[in-house]
Amino acid sequence: MFKASKMELLLAILLCFSFISGCAERKQLEKLALITAAGYDLDKKNVIKGTVVVHKFDPMAQNITKVISADSHTSKGLMKKQNLMSNQKLVSGQMRCVVYSRMLAEKGVIQLVDALNRDSTVGNMVYLTVADGKASSIINLDETNQQVNLGTYLYNIIKQNVEGEQILSPTLQEFNHNYYDIGKDPVLPIMKLKDKDVIISGIALFRDDQLVAELDPSKIFYLKVLADKYNAGSQELGFNRDQFKQFRLKTGEHATRTVYNKLFIDIDNIRSHSKIKLVDKKSLRFKVEVKLSSRLLETTEPIDFSNPAAVKFIEKEINKKMKKEIGGFLAYLQKLDVDPVGFGNEYETHLRGKQLSKKEWRRLFKRATFDIHVKNTIVKTGVID
């Protein structure tokens, strides 16, 4: 009987504390304005314009979000001024996405990225992006629909494309890793306004912390193949129609097609594995091996897939096409003097007792050569219309 009474008393005390703490937490949240997205623009010389979207816990309010802008020299200075414009304390613990203007990204973003690193309330998984123009134009999209949590909206745009393997993960953690790593450069998605909505228009290539070029979406595939790996991606490839005339169906209702003057092939469910190896340290020659397994999803010409030779021929042509395009892509990176793939990482592993500097690797990377080997295996031909 005594034990039961003691346990009941303990339970009552715990419930009381839970009730009190619950009330305190609810009361505290009503005093806070949670920053869910932030944008930074280079407003004028030595001045940064910061625009934030804040989410408020106020059941009596019609609008649950608000956009606040201010000018200052540092991100902390911006926060102070933005707090003066809010009736609730601004906190950044729920930050989902940070947008840098193109102009600012071309000048360098490490000062602002470092400010995020020093803020213990900002998580490593916040997404970093570049605006194709002003960051404030992306952030102010929220004003057209203030019932939408813009931070979550932008976060989900990026997340579903990362999960769909259309882009590389642009988290704060990934940016830090690639920026501070001697042999690799960061990349971030570029966001653009189109018909009053936000789209990902390309990938920003950085040299250290400065944007130097925009990678066309059609080339993102090769960056993903080389720098990471695919588990379920897709790619479209174009070929000369005459290359496939021996395997083209010549009878049937779909035998003659005149819509395109090229033959396009779409492969999906791609599984890839790439291996980069330094084979000659003195001449800086790398061996690049890319292995893929894919499903042939669609062709713009009616191909006779009952003939095993047709599939083998397509595999061979895809290998040649990808090898050529990977070679062109790597030459493009060398011309820009950027290494988002991480060839410098492989080179550094062969240095014994010597520290590689960023400046030295950039000098070396320009003269590197690549032996490229591509092997794509078509495991299924899918259903071709």
> Which tens digit of pLDDT belongs to each residue from 335-374?
999 999 999 999 998 887 788 899 999 999 999 999 999 9
Task: State which amino acid sits at residue 168.
Answer: L
Closest CA relative to residue 318, chosen from 273, 354, 268, 280:
268
Write the Ramachandran bin of 21: left for phi over 0, alpha for psi from -120 to 50, otherwise beta. Answer: alpha
Note the pLDDT of residue 211: 98
Q: Look at 29-43, 202-216, 330-344 and tell me which has the smallest mean pLDDT.
A: 29-43
Decide if domain 221-380 falls under CATH 3.10.310.30.
Answer: no
Q: What torsion do the CA atoms of 222, 224, 225, 226 make, to the nearest 10 degrees?
A: 90
Supply the pTM of this predicted model: 0.85
**pLDDT (average), residues 265-276:** 90
Both structure tokens of 255: 């035998």
Q: Which one is predicted more confidently, 76 or 13?
A: 76
Q: Give the mean pLDDT of the chain.
A: 86
CB-side exposure of 107: number of CA atoms within 13 Å? 15
Model confidence over 149-206: pLDDT tens digits? 788 889 999 999 999 888 999 999 999 999 998 889 999 999 999 888 899 999 999 9
CB 38 within 8 A of CB 112: no
Note the pLDDT of residue 116: 94
Q: What are the sequence ranges of the domains in the chain?
A: 31-215, 221-380
Helices (H), the chain: 2-29, 75-83, 102-107, 110-118, 135-139, 150-163, 172-180, 217-227, 308-336, 343-348, 358-365
**pLDDT (average), residues 67-85:** 91
Note the pLDDT of residue 197: 87
Residue 23 has pLDDT above 70, yes or no: no
Q: What percent of the chain has pLDDT over 70?
A: 85
